[in-house]
Structure 1
Amino acid sequence: MAAGQDNLTAVLYGINDMRLEQRPISEPNDIQVLIQMEVVGICGSDVHYMTHGKIGPFVVEQPMVIGHEAAGTIVKCGKNVKHLQPGDRVAIEPGCPCRMCNFCKIGKYNLCPGMMFCATPPYDGNLCRFYLHDADFCFKLPDNLNLEEGAIMEPLSVGVHACKKAGVKIGDVVLILGAGPIGLVTLLAAKAMGASKICITDILDIKLEMAKKLGADHAIKIEKHLSEDEIVKKVVTLLGEEPNASFDCTGVESCVRIALRSTAKAGKVVLVGLGKFEMNLPLTSALIKEVDIRGVFRYNNDYPTAIEMVRSGRINVKPLITHHYRLEETLQAFETAKTQKGNPVKILIHANPNWRPS
């Protein structure tokens, strides 16, 4: 690319220290593509890195480009890239594994110890004008998906992966704890996979209202005066039976406990939210019921499923998109995410300077 071409980039230097700066544009290697970035969503993890400087063992120790929920347009391909060409619009799966370790070979590449994941220290993300990525983790968008929907394929893939872990099928009864973005995409995926009844919980009415609009059959507001026993009873009463699949999308200990206590015998509890390293949980009662406890970490081989669900009309992700900003307005976008002003669900940042609001 021409020297001096605009590659405005959002770089996190430390806690609450986000800067916009120009970065050089690199050439793709044999298996990479150069992408004109179009849309990048703000994830809760991005906000956490900005406000705390770390997530668990991942610590921001040097300047890091932020952003990993993304879609863009191919502008140049490496010589070995055959399935993409300049002009293709793609959803970008943000992790590139080693492809050589045992986890990669058995199809669990999300557990690869050599995973290079966007905006996870020490690796840069993709909130910039131009970005290099391995071509085999770029997925061409169907004609009936726009680039904004393409960026939502990242969080949707988390929900798809969680529902695959639970084996959600037609007729299943589902409990989802937490109606944030990940709880909502889990709701959408469960509905698309055939769940017949879904109950969702949250502490905020406005989030529960959104969940109902997206298809939740029942919603429970978790209030301080409600005991754990009362919440469990409420779940079972509303659903008419114990759920056979429960998803904790909060990482909060009390929610994990409710999931374990509510779930039916031989059911599955999927832990999606990241919380404390150690929790006090009712494991004996789960053991007696033979409840299967499953963890999820990101996703693997789920982007094609997520894209097909939206292409076919089984899922509509557009209601999740609540805010739009330009790349030059990144600081304002993150302030909205931090303060939750205007009840944001999914905030999108448009990296292409030619973007115009529709």
Structure 2
Amino acid sequence: MPALPTSIAAVLHGPKDLRLEPRSLWAPEPGQCQLEVKSTGLCGSDLHYYLAGRNGDFAIRSPLVLGHESSGIVTALGAGVATQYPHLRVGMRVAIECGIPCRSLNPDGSERTGKDVCKHCSNSRYNLCKNLRFCSSAKTFPHRDGMLQQKINHEAWCLHPIPDTLSYSQAALAEPLSVLLHASRRAGICPPPSHPSLASSSSSSASSFTSSSSTSAAGKKILVFGVGAIGLIACALAHELGAERVCAVDINNDRLAFAAREGFTYGEGTGTYCLPLPSRNQSTEPNPSNPKEPEVIRRAKENAAHALAIFDEPDGFDVIFECTGAESCILMSVFCATLGARIALIGMGSPLVSSFPISAAATREVDLIGSFRYADTYNEAVNLLSGSHIFTANCKSRHSNGEHELKEAGFSQKLAKLVTHRYPLNRAKEAFELLARGRDEQGGIVLKVMIES
């Protein structure tokens, strides 16, 4: 019997234990395609796994291949793909969606009925599917390997064709952009998906993504906490959707300077605020004027007041994207929100918040919105990265001049600036170490590291 071909993979066995290993390359199963992976971006969750062997509550229980921000080229079709997905063919360049929900299907491919129907997959919220398996995540076991390998077999319906004008590294950004498209829909400032992949009707698709009938960012002021890659994409997308102003908060002056210099923040006045780190000797005693108020709340109020003064936005912001997961920023976001604002929780940092200003949020009707991964976003993401717009004519007409339309033409080019470093697969460990340091040997900031073939 001839030996099976192999594919080299970067396999994580434990904290900082990343090994290059050959993996047997089987023929794609029915409904799958075989892919040559061309570009994979490293994200924060990958880094957590690399450094600690876990990401929050999810710890690796067997060797795991990381990577889920990917693009590649189709090299083989499994049985049935040519008939069921005639738009896919060998040689096609694709962006790869890495979440595999049950799609409300039985193991034999038949549709579930009655009480067995997956309500999340049936209502365009397949990111919440209880049986979803996500490549490179240790949430489920056995784990499903990610994309840091030369070739891989993957479900055909999760492959999204990309134009020749879009580079593989740009196409890999469809994944983090999807995170923000989903969060923006949840926050009510982005239109619903134009081509829902699993929804039974367009109406169910639209209602599941927004908490209001309004899906326009026009006239709204947006604040983003954290200007790593995800936060910078949040800024760029808010601008693309027509927000009146976009500002950002971070603890890193260099990243804030990058955000301002490259046009990720915009609007009249100062658009960035560097949050001061708390002093090691800072008092933890209660506030003398309000003994029952925890110190963390007092500090959050104080920092929010300083930020709003710098931004000259005394009434606060309409929508806040919290991309850090840090307790201090979560608390501060409540006090930076205007009446009736929405706070989209995107960062996956602190699992618990010791104190929370619940009365301030409730009496001012501030909505806290959870946002987890994405569903039905890839078509729009690829279109945006390819130079198209999801910005409606109605939204455009609300701008008093053409300044926004001139800026939005550079959305894809702006996001391409996030890719600061590139490495081949055989140097994946070096790439992770660079991402962990946050600066390269020349002192340059590290935003998005790509592993490329």
| TM-score bucket of the superposed structures, by smaller chain | over 0.9
Q: Which residue pairs with 1:152 in the alignment?
A: 173
* Distance in 2 separating the partners of 1:4 and 1:328: 22
Call closer, same or farther: CA 1:175–1:239 in 2, change over 3 Å.
farther
1:347 to 2:347 alignment: no
Listed one character per residue, the Cα deviations across residues 138-158 of structure 1 (whole Å, up to 9, x for unaligned) are 110123211110111111111
Secondary structure of 2:340's aligned partner: coil
The reply to whether residue 291 of structure 1 matches residue 366 of structure 2 is yes
Provide the C-alpha distance between the structure 1 equivalents of 2:145 and 2:52, rounded to a whole number of angstroms: 17
Q: What corresponds to 2:90 in structure 1? A: 86
Residues 1:15 and 2:63 aligned together: no
State the partner residue of 1:304.
Answer: 379
Q: From 147, 162, 172, give the equivalent of 1:126.
A: 147
Unaligned 5+ runs, structure 1: 353-358
Q: What letter is aligned with 2:34?
A: L
Counterpart of 1:355 in structure 2 is: none
Q: Name the Cα RMSD after superposition.
A: 1.6
Partner in structure 1 of residue 301 of structure 2? 229
Letter in 2 for 1:133: H
| TM-superposed deviation, 1:89 | 0.5
Q: Report Cα offsets for 1:26-52 as digits up to 9, x if no partner.
A: 211121110011001111111101111
Greater CA drift, 98-107 or 75-84: 75-84
C-alpha contact 1:74 1:85 (8 A) present in aligned 2? yes
Q: What TM-score results when the alignment is normalised by the length of structure 2? A: 0.75
Question: Where does residue 225 of structure 2 map in the other structure?
Answer: 177
Percent identity between the two aligned chains: 33
CA displacement, residues 92-137 of structure 1 (integer Å, 9 cap, x when unaligned): 0111100112111111100111111011122211111101111111
Equivalent residue letter for 1:85 = R
Q: Distance in 1 between matches of 2:5 and 2:146?
A: 19
What is the Cα deviation at residue 300 of structure 1?
0.8
User: Does residue 347 of structure 2 align to residue 326 of structure 1?
Assistant: no
Spell out, residue by residue over 1:279-325, the C-alpha distance to the aligned partner (whole angstroms, 9 max, x if none).
12111111001111101111111111111112224622210000010
* CA distance in structure 1 between the aligned counterparts of 2:223 and 2:94, rounded to whole angstroms: 33
- Please identify the structure whose Cα radius of gyration is greater: 2
**SS of the residue 1:265 aligns to:** strand
2:54 aligned residue: 54
Task: List structure 1 segments (4+ residues) > 3 angstroms apart after TM superposition.
Answer: 2-6
Amino acid at match of 1:67: G
Q: What is the CA–CA distance in structure 2 between the aligned matches of 1:5 and 1:278, rounded to whole Å?
A: 47
Aligned-partner SS, 1:286:
helix
| TM-superposed deviation, 1:261 | 1.3
Cα displacement string for residues 235-274 of structure 1 (whole angstroms, at most 9, x for unaligned residues): 3331534101011100011101111111111110110001
Name the structure 2 match of 1:337. Answer: 435
Letter in 1 for 2:98: P
Q: Which moved more, 1:295-304 or 1:238-247?
A: 238-247
> Which of residues 115, 123, 131 in structure 2 aligns to 1:114?
131
| Alignment of 1:275 onto 2:349 | yes
The DSSP-based 3-state class of the residue aligned with 2:360 is helix
CA distance in 2, matches of 1:135, 1:39: 18
Q: 1:202 aligns with which of 250, 258, 265?
A: 250
User: Is this contact kept in 2: 1:53–1:59, CA < 8 A?
Assistant: yes
Give ranges in structure 2 of 5+ residues lacking alignment: 105-117, 190-216, 280-298, 389-408
The alignment of Structure 1 onto Structure 2 pairs a total of residues equal to: 350
**TM-score for both structures, normalised by structure 1:** 0.94
SS at match of 2:38: strand
Give the letter for the 2:363 counterpart: I
- Per-residue deviation, 1:201: 0.6
Provide, for residues 189-236 of structure 1, a one-character-per-residue CA deviation record: whole Å limited to 9, x for no partner. Answer: 111111111110111111101211132030000113694334322333
Deviation at 1:4, TM superposition (A): 5.5
- Whether contact under 8 Å (2:40, 2:70) holds in the other structure is yes
Q: 1:46 and 1:239 mapped to 2: Cα distance?
A: 37
Q: Contact 1:158–1:186 (CA<8 Å) still a contact in 2?
A: no
